Amino acid sequence: MHEQIKLAPIARVKNERKEIVDGNWDRVISEIALSDKLPSECLRGIEEFSHLEIIFFFHRTQRIVTGSAHPRENPRWPEVGIFAQRKKNRPNRLGVTIVRLLKVEDRKLFVTNLDAVDGTPVLDIKPVFREFLPSEEILQPAWSHELMKNY
């Protein structure tokens, strides 16, 4: 059974990244421009948070992986299932990233570390609460540290 879910973007990403390239997202400042369909009041109080969680749609991803693959197609890393990696070629093409909020100007958020190219539709924005982050040690395989080295 394939239930259909209809979503509409609440914002769009504006930044210098026009091409899909992995890595160095900490150097990119992105503007998240709120849709005209939403009132500016939905951002009230957001400037009190240092970090936000951005849920977005990989709108330019064409090839979808439903089984397993090497992360970033690197054969030195093990072939793992799509749900054991953060590849953009996901079944529903959803991305989730915690970003640093730099400033708020009217209906725009300025953030860093958002791994989304210019024009990416944003589906939701949530403030990061320390209490929602894991309190125990986070375990991950060695290849993931290498992958994230220059991300």
Third-level CATH fold of 11-147: Elongation Factor Tu (Ef-tu); domain 3 (2.40.30)
Q: Per residue in 77-107, pLDDT tens? A: 999 999 999 888 889 999 999 999 999 999 9
Look at residue 2 and tell me whether its pLDDT is greater than 70: yes
130 neighbors 27 (Cβ within 8 angstroms): no
Q: Per residue in 129-140, pLDDT tens? A: 999 999 999 999
The structural domains of the chain, with segments of one domain joined by +, span: 11-147
Look at residue 117 and tell me whether its pLDDT is greater than 70: yes
Look at residue 128 and tell me whether its pLDDT is greater than 90: yes
- How far apart CA 76 and CA 113 sit, in angstroms, is 26
Closest CA to 31 of 114, 109, 136: 109
What average pLDDT score do residues 112-127 get?
95
